[in-house]
Structure 1
Amino acid sequence: MKSPHRLMQGMAVAAVVTATTLSAPIVAAAHEAQPGSGTYQECRGVTVDKNAPVVSRASVLIKAPLTTVWALHTDIDAWGSWIPEITPARKKTPGPLRPGSVFEWSPQNMKVTSTVTAVERGRCTAWAAPVNGIDGVHLFTFKQVRGGVLATTEESWAGTPVEADIPGSQAALDAGLNDWVHRLKTTAETKPGCADH
């Protein structure tokens, strides 16, 4: 069985985060949302677990159309083209992403089955991602702002493996969320037709 810290890294897609990945300016730093702070993202009433021992958030300004960002985010079968560490990633439920949709993905060779709990087209998604004793709740929100799209991801972790190493879990989740939004930014901004947005 993987160590709790290795497991955390996998769940958060916390492969080695290079200086290049994190060179873009971040709008709201990871680790901003804290248990008990009362400041959380929501998607149709769904939020992260506010009582979880580990909660993290990362936001970035993406200079690309909202339609491009949303398409990249919701095309789960193509995630591997810009986040290869989570392959294979496959949507198991046919049709558009909606509450009840199920998808499988494999961060660091672990098989994770997630269920979408909320979707608002062009604005937000939320899903539950339980794996190996960790209960994860993951939200993404998107807001059109001057200069592009503010993309925010927020996630909570609870469970025995998390409680065994809260600082390590927090660091892994912070790194993973930062990596994810910056990869989304880089991919969206390099799509054809986005350079002059």
Structure 2
Amino acid sequence: MTSRHKLMQGMAVAAVATATTLSAPSVAAAHQAQPGAGTYQECRGVTVDKNAPVVSRASVLIKAPLTTVWKLHTDIDAWATWIPEITPARKKTPGPLRPGSVFEWSPQNMKVTSTVASVQRLRCTAWTAPVNGIDGVHLFTFKPVKGGVLATTEESWAGHPVEADIPGNQAALDAGLNDWVNRLKSTAETRTGCTDHRGK
């Protein structure tokens, strides 16, 4: 399998579980990080499902302005310019992303509808929902640090399809999230004139 095919497979698998319909309040109430279980990312009270059989995280330092990174991440209608494997994608709700915003995308030619659970401008987004028997909760956080922006994505998968093959699903989600943040890094740095895409 070529690296491009692996990229497409990993991103598509990860994308399938990020589309969601759970409400923000139910997510906030059910998914709280617990001491000793690791530090979970949070977007205004929303976290991944810490009890899910599969939870993954990927982080990368992006040497680009926060505004550039944020625009790439939230301009869903323009995702095709840097992550075409999960497009076509478009917002159904006009205006900036906010709780309740709906958008559609098409991993592996499947039409998926996602609803935003939480958002804080220039800081984080979260969306959630059952897709093909998988309950996914997906967060992105952005933190200004020395040298750029620390972008972190974290996602949990739960449901019978996940439990049927936990190692396989864990590997797929790990690969998908890692590819996603590194594609974000590469695009943001290229557009701002940085040529070092090694993630250091």
- Deviation digits for residues 10-40 of structure 1 (CA, Å, limit 9, x no counterpart): 33159xxxxxxxxxxxxxxxxxx9xx72420
CA distance in 1, matches of 2:61, 2:10: 26
Query: Please, which runs of 5 or more residues in structure 2 have no aligned partner?
Result: 1-7, 17-32, 196-200
Residue 92 of structure 1 corresponds to 92
Residue 51 of structure 2 corresponds to 51
Residue 167 of structure 1 corresponds to 167
Question: Between Structure 1 and Structure 2, how many residues are aligned?
Answer: 170
Counting helix residues as a fraction of each chain, which structure ranks higher? 2
CA distance in 2, matches of 1:163, 1:176: 18
Label 1:129 to 1:188 Cα distance change in 2 as closer, same or farther (>3 A): farther
Residue 14 of structure 2 is aligned to residue 12 of structure 1: yes
- Deviation digits for residues 81-124 of structure 1 (CA, Å, limit 9, x no counterpart): 11111011111111110000011111111221111000000000
CA distance in 2, matches of 1:195, 1:9: 24
Residue 144 of structure 2 corresponds to 144
CA distance in 2, matches of 1:126, 1:44: 9
RMSD of Structure 2 on Structure 1 (CA): 2.2
CA distance in 2, matches of 1:77, 1:153: 20
Residue 110 of structure 2 corresponds to 110
CA distance in 2, matches of 1:107, 1:153: 18
Secondary structure at 1:42 match in 2 = coil
Residue 164 of structure 1: how far off its partner (Å): 0.6
Secondary structure at 1:130 match in 2 = strand
Is the contact made by 1:13 and 1:180 (CA closer than 8 Å) also made in structure 2? Answer: no
Residue 194 of structure 2 corresponds to 195
Residue 41 of structure 1: how far off its partner (Å): 0.2
CA distance in 1, matches of 2:117, 2:48: 11
CA distance in 2, matches of 1:101, 1:139: 15
Query: Please, which runs of 5 or more residues in structure 1 have no aligned partner?
Result: 1-5, 15-32
Identical columns (%): 84
TM-score, normalization by structure 2? 0.80
Residue 66 of structure 2 corresponds to 66
- Deviation digits for residues 61-98 of structure 1 (CA, Å, limit 9, x no counterpart): 00000000000000001111111110111111111100
TM-score, normalization by structure 1? 0.81
Alignment of 1:16-55 (within 5 A): 37-55=37-55
